[in-house]
């Protein structure tokens, strides 16, 4: 069994942002030399997500509006977590969108359907944060 | 290490439907000959889910009503994604329910608790769509 | 390839409770002797979650309030599942929070970011329920 590990670093200019990280993850897979196995990609921070969806700007706008409806950023004092922090909403938004994805590796490729793309979902940005890529297989 | 891959195809007669796919997934596991490992089952389309819950029709009705409350299908023009499309709500519903499940394989079986069943959650149906089953182990 | 399996049992005194199970999961990893691989930790019951977030009491209070807003426990008769049961809300809450986490195993450790902790999320407690830990690797 082979295994591979890499950290990807991100610093978004805004509090919330969706970043298509499919090229970086595919690069990790190429570096690993693994052709059959499973790839884990997870946010290492608890106010960010890794998820799979469509790379379509209209939809990303819909996600922003929808997540703000489900778990609004403000007023900050609606959340008990917001004493020294102001990011309780980011913990909740990340819970909706998920921490991680597992992608099948088949024939040396990310084994994806027609529109699947991997996103880093930042909900409390403007600072350096990490995503972990771990691959096991042969 | 052994690996196994199969696509399962579905075409639901209605826009939204929950389909118990546990028998098909168990059949994949039997075909694979793998007795210890991990099984990934994921929707290959970004308007559908694979998730684990109870096979109880009352609950499925509750899911339908609840997801429509969290991310209503209509009016279509509430979503920017709905220019040429009308399925923005399906992208959001799938985000709540999740893209994939990972199931432990132990002693050649899906290692499940008493009521766990795997469902394909279709939120934009009436066309042929796929689920991926990937198993690695020994 | 090595594999390891263990069930962890919980009985919470209240209907809903978040339990930090990171020490028990780390103990499983130590017992397994696996140093590179993937660890699956999942609720074996469909009214409970395993998820990763922050061990901060204010945030846990925010989760409780937020999940009650998204999927209220009462009135019980708002849900069709609640004939002989009263736990439909627990099935919905668990869908938001997720069934499982996959954690990378690197250098014999849970490969975590700075604040990641694993929680058992009980939404229909006061009875004995199980979490599965399955680890594969080398």
Identify the CA nearest to C16 among candidates C118, C128, C122.
Answer: C122
C128 burial class (0-12, 13-18, 19+ CB within 10 angstroms)?
A: exposed
What pLDDT, on a 0 to 100 scale, did the predictor assign at position A21?
98
Which of C53, C102, C113 is opposite residue A130, by nearest beta carbon?
A: C113
Mutation pick from B41, B76, B134, B138 vs chain A, by most beta carbons of A within 10 Å, is B134
Which distant-in-sequence residues (6+ apart) come within 8 Å of A51 by Cβ? A97, A98, A101, A118, A119, A121, B95, B99
DSSP label of A78: G
What pLDDT, on a 0 to 100 scale, did the predictor assign at position B118?
98
What pLDDT, on a 0 to 100 scale, did the predictor assign at position B75?
98
Q: How much of chain B, in percent, has pLDDT values that exceed 70?
A: 100
B6 burial class (0-12, 13-18, 19+ CB within 10 angstroms)?
A: middle
Task: Tell me the shortest Cα–Cα distance from A78 to chain C, in angstroms.
Answer: 9
Mutation pick from C58, C68, C123 vs chain A, by most beta carbons of A within 10 Å, is C58
pLDDT band, very low/low/confident/very high, at A110 (cuts 50, 70, 90): very high
pLDDT band, very low/low/confident/very high, at A121 (cuts 50, 70, 90): very high
What pLDDT, on a 0 to 100 scale, did the predictor assign at position C95?
98
Contact B127, B12 (CB under 8 A): no
Query: In B36-128, which ranges are E strands?
Result: 37-43, 48-53, 100-106, 109-110, 117-122
For B51-78, write each residue's pLDDT tens digit.
Answer: 999 999 999 999 999 999 999 999 999 9
Task: Tell me the shortest Cα–Cα distance from A51 to chain C, in angstroms.
Answer: 13
Q: Residue C104: enclosing H or E segment and its boundaries?
A: strand C100-106
What pLDDT, on a 0 to 100 scale, did the predictor assign at position C51?
98
What pLDDT, on a 0 to 100 scale, did the predictor assign at position A69?
98
**How much is the average pLDDT of C58-78?**
98
For A61-88, write each residue's pLDDT tens digit.
Answer: 999 999 999 999 999 999 999 998 999 9
What is the number of residues in chain A? Answer: 138
**How much is the average pLDDT of C79-95?**
96
Q: Across the interface, do B44 and A114 touch by the CB < 8 Å criterion?
A: yes
Peptide bond into A75 cis (omega under 30): yes
Contact A25, A111 (CB under 8 A): no
**How much is the average pLDDT of C114-135?**
98
Contact C96, B96 (CB under 8 A): yes
For B29-56, write each residue's pLDDT tens digit.
Answer: 999 999 999 999 999 999 999 999 999 9
Q: Across the interface, do B98 and A98 touch by the CB < 8 Å criterion?
A: yes
Distances (CA, A) of B79 to A16, A72, A89, B113: 19, 18, 22, 39
> Torsions phi, psi of C69, nearest 5?
-75, -45
What pLDDT, on a 0 to 100 scale, did the predictor assign at position C82?
97
Task: Tell me the shortest Cα–Cα distance from C115 to chain B, in angstroms.
Answer: 23
Q: How much of chain C, in percent, has pLDDT values that exceed 70?
A: 100
Alpha-carbon distance of B19 to B122, in angstroms, equals 8
Q: Across the interface, do A91 and C52 touch by the CB < 8 Å criterion?
A: no
Q: Across the interface, do B102 and A102 touch by the CB < 8 Å criterion?
A: yes
**How much is the average pLDDT of A120-132?**
98
Which of C38, C46, C82 is opposite residue B52, by nearest beta carbon?
A: C46
Interface A–B counts its CB contacts (< 8 A) at 90
Q: Across the interface, do A62 and B92 touch by the CB < 8 Å criterion?
A: yes
List chain A residues with CB under 8 Å of C1: 1
For C7-16, write each residue's pLDDT tens digit.
Answer: 999 999 999 9
What pLDDT, on a 0 to 100 scale, did the predictor assign at position A92?
98
Q: Residue C101: enclosing H or E segment and its boundaries?
A: strand C100-106
pLDDT band, very low/low/confident/very high, at C108 (cuts 50, 70, 90): very high
For B90-123, write each residue's pLDDT tens digit.
Answer: 999 999 999 999 999 999 999 999 999 999 999 9
3-class DSSP state for residue A22? helix
User: Average per-residue pLDDT in chain B?
Assistant: 98
What pLDDT, on a 0 to 100 scale, did the predictor assign at position C4?
98
Contact B20, B27 (CB under 8 A): no
* Residue showing tokens 């009875």: C127
Q: How much of chain A, in percent, has pLDDT values that exceed 90?
A: 99
What pLDDT, on a 0 to 100 scale, did the predictor assign at position A64?
98
List chain A residues with CB under 8 Å of B79: 58-59, 62
Alpha-carbon distance of A100 to A114, in angstroms, equals 20
Alpha-carbon distance of C2 to B36, in angstroms, equals 9
Which distant-in-sequence residues (6+ apart) come within 8 Å of C47 by Cβ? C87, C90, C91, C94, C123, C124
Alpha-carbon distance of C64 to A79, in angstroms, equals 11
Distances (CA, A) of C104 to A38, A41, C6: 11, 9, 17
Q: Across the interface, do C62 and A46 touch by the CB < 8 Å criterion?
A: no
Residue A18 tokens read as: 């969706």
pLDDT band, very low/low/confident/very high, at C38 (cuts 50, 70, 90): very high
List chain A residues with CB under 8 Å of B5: 104, 106, 111
Which distant-in-sequence residues (6+ apart) come within 8 Å of B47 by Cβ? B87, B90, B91, B94, B123, B124
Helices (H), C73-122: 88-97
What pLDDT, on a 0 to 100 scale, did the predictor assign at position B110?
98
* Residue showing tokens 């004493």: A83
**How much is the average pLDDT of B78-93?**
96
Alpha-carbon distance of A27 to A21, in angstroms, equals 10
For A18-43, write each residue's pLDDT tens digit.
Answer: 999 999 999 999 999 999 999 999 99
What pLDDT, on a 0 to 100 scale, did the predictor assign at position C73?
98
Query: In chain A, which ranges are E strands?
Result: 2-10, 17-20, 37-43, 48-53, 100-106, 109-110, 117-122, 129-137
């Amino acid at each position: 069994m082979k295994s591979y590990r890499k950290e990807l670093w991100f610093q978004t200019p805004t509090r919330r942002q969706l970043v298509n990280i499919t090229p970086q993850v595919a690069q990790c897979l190429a570096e690993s030399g693994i052709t059959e196995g499973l790839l884990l990609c997870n946010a290492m921070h608890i106010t960010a997500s890794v998820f799979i969806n469509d790379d379509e700007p209209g939809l990303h706008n819909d996600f922003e509006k929808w997540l703000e409806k489900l778990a609004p950023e403000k007023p900050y004092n609606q959340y008990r977590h917001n004493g020294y922090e102001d990011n309780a909403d980011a913990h909740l938004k990340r819970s909706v969108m998920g921490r991680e994805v597992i992608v099948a590796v088949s024939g040396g490729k990310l084994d994806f359907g027609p529109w699947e793309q991997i996103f880093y979902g930042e909900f409390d940005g403007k600072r350096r944060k990490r995503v972990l890529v771990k691959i096991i297989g042969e």
